[in-house]
Each structure stands twice: as C-alpha cells, then as structure tokens.
C-alpha cells in the first residue's frame, strides 16, 4: 500500500450533519486543535473499542485543547444503533456515501483485514469487548485514519492505520494538544 501524507497541508473543508442532525462544519473549529478520526462502520467492534477509549479520554483531550470529530462510513440510523449508544461527548458524522472519506483518501485493504484477523490477542480482546456484531463482518475492509488539525486548519499529522484497530496514540494527541512533542 502506498504511503499517503497530508502533513503540512490545509485540511479539506466539509459541511454536513452529525448523526443527531446538528450542522457540522470543519470551519467552525478554526482557532481550535482537532483530532479528526475516520472509522470503518458503526457496527465495527474494533471501532467501538476505540470509541470507548476516546470517550474515556475526551475530557483530558479537551483540557489539553483538542476537540474530537469522528466519522463513520455508516448512516445516521446505523450510528444510533451501534456507536451512538455510547453517548460520546463529541460529534459523530455519518458518511455512508464516503464523500469525506474520498477527500481524505481513506483506503481499504484486504491485507489489513487479514493482519487484524491474524492477531489472536486483538481478536480475543474484540470478542470480549461486548461490541462484536455480525453486521460488521461482510463489509469492505476500510482502514482507520486520524488527522491532527491545528488552529489554522492545517494538518500537522496524518496517520493511516494498516489494520482495523490501528490509530494514532491517544497520549501523543494529548501531548500535541498541550504543545509538547
């Protein structure tokens, strides 16, 4: 898979609605640091495990100056059924048509799916997470991605996962928010 980077580029603007119908525009976050996270599908257990981690760290990240925006390649109804049940303190954006995913060059990878499935420790963790759903099984193998966007809407870091559970480290995001390396 080719290595993609958006580092030191302007963030690609978007205007849409979150899964609750609230207007969301990336431009509304100008002047704030943003963690923009792309997940697979709302029924993805790996994604929902990461959502739990984001929820647990949301206040810590907010205090460090980082806002969280999450996208799923799912409909608002699917998000309500799965990821939305966790009542996150940050917006979740449905992008079932993957328009924003395409702008940010989010990729699929059968190799990434196989790499995930071959990680028995991660598979056991997922099976015990309470998020397992057969609804996530036959889907395309989208990979997750994270973008750190500064106050001027510049991407300072882009992270493209190589397997379903791979995201940028939360502590790295927290340190970035505080202005540390």
Residue 123 falls within a domain, yes or no? yes
Could you read off the pLDDT of 108-144 as tens digits, one per residue?
Answer: 766 656 565 655 566 556 555 555 565 655 466 788 9
Position 4 in a domain? no
Q: How many domains does the chain have?
A: 1
Contact 33, 65 (CB under 8 A): yes
Residue 93 lies in a domain: yes
Question: Considering the domain boundaries, does residue 84 fall inside one?
Answer: yes
Query: Does residue 88 or residue 3 have the better pLDDT?
Result: 88
CA angle 32, 155, 67 (to 5 degrees): 30
Q: Is residue 29 one of the residues assigned to a domain?
A: yes
DSSP secondary structure code for residue 89 in this structure: S
Identify whether 139 is part of a domain: yes
Containing structural domain, residue 165: 18-177
Average the pLDDT over each of 16-20, 29-33, 166-170 and give the range with the smallest value: 166-170
In a domain, 8, yes or no: no
Specify the CATH number for the domain of residue 103.
3.40.30.10
Residue 158 has, within 13 A of its CA and on its CB side, a CA count of 16
Q: What local confidence, expressed as pLDDT, does residue 124 receive?
A: 58
Mean of per-residue pLDDT scores for the chain:
85
Cα–Cα distance measured from residue 88 to residue 86, given in angstroms and rounded to the nearest whole number = 6
pLDDT value of residue 151:
97
CA distance 153 to 148: 9
49 compared with 164, residue with greater pLDDT: 49
Element (H, E) at 177: helix 170-177
Sequence-distant (6+) residues with CB within 8 A of 146 are 35, 36, 37, 38, 157, 158, 159, 161, 167, 168, 173
What's the rounded mean pLDDT across residues 81-85?
79
Q: Where are the alpha helices (DSSP H) in 13-145?
A: 45-63, 76-81, 99-103, 110-117, 120-127
What is the band of 68 on the pLDDT scale with cuts at 50, 70, 90?
very high
- Check: CB of residue 150 under 8 Å from CB of residue 31: no
The answer on pLDDT for 71 being more than 70 is: yes
Residue 12 located in a structural domain: no
């Amino acid at each position: 898979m080719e290595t993609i980077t958006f580092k030191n580029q302007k963030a690609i603007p978007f205007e849409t609605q979150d899964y609750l119908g609230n207007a969301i525009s990336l431009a509304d976050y100008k002047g704030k640091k943003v963690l923009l996270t792309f997940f697979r599908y709302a029924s993805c257990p790996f994604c929902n495990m990461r959502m739990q981690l984001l929820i647990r760290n949301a206040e810590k990240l907010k205090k460090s100056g980082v806002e969280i925006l999450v996208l799923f390649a799912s409909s608002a109804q699917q998000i309500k059924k799965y990821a939305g049940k966790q009542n996150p303190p940050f917006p979740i954006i449905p992008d079932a048509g993957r328009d924003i995913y395409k702008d940010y060059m989010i990729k699929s990878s059968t190799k990434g799916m196989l790499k995930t499935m071959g990680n028995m420790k991660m598979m056991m963790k997922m099976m015990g997470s309470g998020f397992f759903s057969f609804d996530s099984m036959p889907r395309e193998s989208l990979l997750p991605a994270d973008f750190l966007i500064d106050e001027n809407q510049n991407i300072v870091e882009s992270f493209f996962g190589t397997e379903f559970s791979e995201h940028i480290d939360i502590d790295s995001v927290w340190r970035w928010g505080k202005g540390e390396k």
